[in-house]
Amino acid sequence: MSITSHDQRGVIPLPHETPDVAKAAILAADELLGGAFDEYMLVRLAADLNKLCTSYSTHDLAASVALNVLKNVSPPNRRDALARMTLLEWFREGKVTPALVEAFESPRFSGDKRSSP
């Protein structure tokens, strides 16, 4: 069993995972958002999100921070391509849940106006 927070299907949280809020904010800032957002704001957001759910891994929390930031940015200014590529890599490594990857691909987030089947 790996030290990541989820198995390959992303459904079994491993015990004793406590997210590192500061590290999550730095991961979001550097690896998902390309340094385009204020780290202090991201730390505050990470702390707020961490209060809502205690089952986050550090990488899940970083992905949630990026998702929350990017959903409030107008589509022409988004930096979501970097976030999506990195998130898929993290998913393959078992670092994030499938739900977060799916959230980045949802029509509501991506700006796709087509209706769902």
pLDDT of residue 55: 66
Q: CA–CA separation, 107 vs 37, rounded Å? A: 24
The DSSP-derived string for 39-63 is: HHHHHHHHHHHHHH-TT--HHHHHH
* CA 34-38-104 angle, 5° bins: 50
pLDDT of residue 4: 43
pLDDT of residue 46: 95
Question: What's the pTM value of the predicted model, to 2 decimals?
Answer: 0.75
pLDDT of residue 110: 57
- Is residue 54's pLDDT more than 80? no
pLDDT, averaged across the chain = 79
